[in-house]
Amino acid sequence: MIDITLLGTAALVPLPQRSLTAALLSCGGRSILFDCGEGTQTAANRANVSLMKVDMIALTHYHGDHIFGMPGLLQTMCSMGRTETLYITGPEGLKEAMEPILKLVGWTSYTITLLELAPEGLQLSELGTGWSRESKLTAFQTEHRISSQGYCFTLSRAGKFIPQKARELGIPENQWGLLQKGTSIQVGNTIIQPEQVLGEPRQGLKFVFTGDTAVCDTLIKAAAEADLLICEATYSENEQANLAIEHGHMNFAQAASVAARANVKQLWLVHYSQMIDDPQVHLHNATDIFEHTVCGLDGMKTTLRYQK
Ligand SMILES: [Zn+2]
Ligand SMILES: [Zn+2]
C-alpha cells in the first residue's frame, strides 16, 4: 500500500490557494518528499501530514520553485529535535546545489546524507531505516532546461505462499511467517529461501513523479503501467505546445499523451502556470487524449493498493 499526498500544484510562484508542486509518499511508516519549494512546510500542515520524519527528500532539479523550501524545512526538523539521518537525493550537481543551503541551515541535530542514485536505483531497505525489502526508488533523466530527473517508486509483491511446498521441505509451521515476509530460514543444515515456497511474483505497485520536463522517451518508459503518474502540465492550451517544448515543459495534452503512451492507470496534472486560474476548465484538453486524467489539487490524497 502506498499513500500519496499532493502538497502543491503551482509553478514558479506560490499563490494564496496554490502551493508549489511537491508530493509526499508514505509506505509502511516510511516516507519520501518529492521536491520542496517555498511554502511546502505550510502546505503539508494544511494537508494534515507531517514532514518531520521524512526519510528522504528527492529533488527533481535545482530551480528555486522546487528547492527554496529546503532551508526552512531542514531548520524546522532540527528545532523539533530530529535525530534520524535525512537522505537527500537529486540529479547531477546535488553537492553544489545543497552546499549554500546547508551553510544557511548550519548545525543540525541529525545527519544529512547526500545520495545520488545509481542507474539501477536504490533498494530502500539498504538504508537500514526500516523500509520494506520490496520498496525501490529509481531516478530517470528528464528533459528540462537544466539537469533534471523524475522518480519512480515501486513496491514489488512476492508470490503467494504455498503450504504444500513448505511441508514437503519439512519447514515447521511456526517458521512459515518468516518466509512469507521474505526472510530466509535455516532448517537443520539447509537454508531455505522464500522463493522456494512462494509462487510467481504478483503485480506490485508503481508511482511516478515527473518534476519539470518536456515529453521524453525516458519518462514514457519509466511511467509504463504506473498506478499513478503525477505529471507536470505547466500550460493548459493545445496552442501552447511549442511554447511548452521550448521551455522544457508540457501542456495538458502533452501530459495526457505521455500517460496514454505509458498506459498508466491514473494521471494527475500539476505544476500549473499562474496564468491558469482554474485548471478544471481546461481538463478536457487532457481527457480528450487520456480519459483517466484528473487535475491535481493541493491536498489531494490517494492510496494505491494491490489488486487482488
Ligand atoms: Zn518548476
Ligand atoms: Zn524547472
Q: Delineate the domains of the chain, giving CATH numbers in brackets.
A: 2-158+201-304 (3.60.15.10), 159-200 (no CATH)
- At residue 225, the pLDDT reads 97
User: Distance, CA 4 to ligand 2 centroid (Å)?
Assistant: 22
Rounded to two decimals, the pTM is 0.93
User: Distance, CA 113 to ligand 1 centroid (Å)?
Assistant: 24
Distance in Å from the first CA to the final CA of the chain: 12
- At residue 307, the pLDDT reads 85
Q: Which ligand is nearest to the CA of 234?
A: 1
User: Distance, CA 67 to ligand 1 centroid (Å)?
Assistant: 10
User: Distance, CA 282 to ligand 1 centroid (Å)?
Assistant: 20
pLDDT in tens, 237-291: 999 999 999 999 999 999 999 999 999 999 999 999 999 999 999 999 999 999 9
Q: Which ligand is nearest to the CA of 66?
A: 1
- The cell numbers describing 31, all together, are 516516507
pLDDT band at residue 201 under the 50/70/90 scheme? confident
Average pLDDT over residues 69-84: 97
User: Distance, CA 281 to ligand 2 centroid (Å)?
Assistant: 24
Q: What's the count of helices (H) and strands (E) in the chain, helices before strands?
A: 10, 16
- At residue 25, the pLDDT reads 98
User: Distance, CA 239 to ligand 1 centroid (Å)?
Assistant: 20
User: Distance, CA 212 to ligand 1 centroid (Å)?
Assistant: 6
Q: Which ligand is nearest to the CA of 248?
A: 2
> Are the CB atoms for 7 and 26 separated by under 8 Å?
no
Catalytic residue check, 3: no
**71 pLDDT higher than 80:** yes
**308 pLDDT higher than 90:** no
Percent of the chain exceeding pLDDT 90 equals 90
Spatial distance between the Cα atoms of 149 and 86, rounded to a whole number of angstroms: 20
Q: Which ligand is nearest to the CA of 213?
A: 2
User: CB atoms < 10 A from the CB of 145, how many?
Assistant: 13
User: Which chain residues have CB less than 5 Å from ligand 1, an ion?
Assistant: 11, 65, 212
Q: Which ligand is nearest to the CA of 142?
A: 2
Residue 139 parent element (H or E) = strand 135-141
The beta-carbon contacts of 80-84 under 8 Å, at least 24 apart in sequence, are 80/52, 81/109, 82/52, 82/53, 82/108, 82/109, 82/110, 83/109, 83/110, 84/53, 84/55, 84/110, 84/129
Average pLDDT over residues 35-52: 97
Which of the following is catalytic: 35, 55, 65, 298?
A: 65
**218 pLDDT higher than 80:** yes
User: Distance, CA 175 to ligand 2 centroid (Å)?
Assistant: 51
- The cell numbers describing 305, all together, are 493498493
**128 pLDDT higher than 90:** no
